[in-house]
Structure 1
Amino acid sequence: MTLRVLATGPLCTVQDLGRSGWFADGVGVSGAADRRSLALANRLVGNDESAAGIECLLGGLELSALAPVTVAVTGAPASITVEGTPNGHASVIDLACGQTVRLGLASAGLRTYVAVRGGIDVPAVLGSRSYDTLSAIGPAPLQVGQELPVGPTPGGWPIIDQAPVAAMTSDPVIARVSFGPRDEWFEQPQDLLDGWWEVSDRSDRVGARLIRPERFPSLRRRDESELPSEGIPLGAVQVPPSGEPVIFLADHPITGGYPVIGVVVDADIDLVAQARPGQQIRFVRA
Structure 2
Amino acid sequence: MTIAKSTQSTLEVVRAGIQSTVQDQGRGGYRHLGVAQSGALDAPALLLANRLVNNPAHFAGLELVVGPIALRFSSASWFVICGADFEAELDGDPVRSGWRSYAAAGQLLTLRGAKQGMRAYLAVAGGIAVPQILGSRSTDIAAQFGGFFGRALQNGDRLPIGVVAAGAECDRPAGCLQRLWTPELRVLPGPEYQEFGDAAQQAFWQQAWGVSHQSNRMGYRLEGTPLLRATPGDLLSHAVLPGVIQVPPNGLPIVLLADAQATGGYPRIGVVIQADLWKLAQARPGTRFCFIQSDLAQARAAQKKWQQEQYRLEWSLYGT
> TM-score with structure 2 length normalisation?
0.84
Q: Which runs of 5+ in 2 are unaligned?
A: 1-8, 295-320
Q: Specify the alignment match of 1:153 in structure 2.
A: 164
For 1:101, the aligned partner's letter is: L
Q: Specify the alignment match of 2:218 in structure 1.
A: 206
- Report whether the alignment pairs 1:105 with 2:113: yes
- Report whether the alignment pairs 1:178 with 2:184: no
Q: Specify the alignment match of 1:55 in structure 2.
A: 63
Asked if the contact 1:77/1:168 (under 8 Å) is kept, the reply is no
Q: Specify the alignment match of 1:196 in structure 2.
A: 208
1:46-105 Cα distance to aligned partner (Å, 9 max, x none):
101110000011343211111111111111100110111112111111111111011110
Q: Specify the alignment match of 1:17 in structure 2.
A: 25
- Give, in whole Å, the separation in 2 of the partners of 1:190 and 1:137: 42
Deviation at 1:167, TM superposition (A): 6.1
Q: Specify the alignment match of 1:224 in structure 2.
A: 232
Query: Counterpart of 1:79 in 2: which secondary structure?
Result: strand
Q: Specify the alignment match of 1:255 in structure 2.
A: 263
Asked if the contact 1:76/1:274 (under 8 Å) is kept, the reply is yes
> TM-score with structure 1 length normalisation?
0.93
1:150-186 Cα distance to aligned partner (Å, 9 max, x none):
11102324687342323656xx521111112011221
- Give, in whole Å, the separation in 2 of the partners of 1:88 and 1:180: 40
Deviation at 1:28, TM superposition (A): 1.9
- Give, in whole Å, the separation in 1 of the partners of 2:170 and 2:254: 38
Q: Specify the alignment match of 2:97 in structure 1.
A: 89
For 2:154, the aligned partner's letter is: Q
- Give, in whole Å, the separation in 2 of the partners of 1:264 and 1:276: 18
Q: Specify the alignment match of 1:70 in structure 2.
A: 78
Pick the structure with more helix per residue.
2
Q: 1:112 to 1:59 in 2, by over 3 A?
A: farther
| Identity value in percent | 39
- Give, in whole Å, the separation in 2 of the partners of 1:162 and 1:174: 30
- Give, in whole Å, the separation in 2 of the partners of 1:180 and 1:150: 42
Asked if the contact 1:59/1:111 (under 8 Å) is kept, the reply is no
1:164-221 Cα distance to aligned partner (Å, 9 max, x none):
323656xx52111111201122123232101210000111111111001xxxx43111
Deviation at 1:125, TM superposition (A): 1.1
Q: 1:116 to 1:108 in 2, by over 3 A?
A: same
- Report whether the alignment pairs 1:270 with 2:281: no
Aligned residues between the structures = 280
Query: Counterpart of 1:71 in 2: which secondary structure?
Result: strand
- Give, in whole Å, the separation in 1 of the partners of 2:248 and 2:175: 40
- Give, in whole Å, the separation in 1 of the partners of 2:99 and 2:67: 16
For 2:168, the aligned partner's letter is: G
For 1:29, the aligned partner's letter is: Q
- Give, in whole Å, the separation in 2 of the partners of 1:160 and 1:222: 60
Question: Which one of the candidate residues 35, 42, 51 is aligned to 1:34?
Answer: 42
Q: 1:156 to 1:57 in 2, by over 3 A?
A: same
Q: Specify the alignment match of 1:142 in structure 2.
A: 153
- Report whether the alignment pairs 1:242 with 2:254: no
For 2:111, the aligned partner's letter is: L
Query: Counterpart of 1:36 in 2: which secondary structure?
Result: helix
| Root-mean-square deviation (Å) | 1.6
Query: Counterpart of 1:261 in 2: which secondary structure?
Result: strand
- Give, in whole Å, the separation in 2 of the partners of 1:151 and 1:275: 32
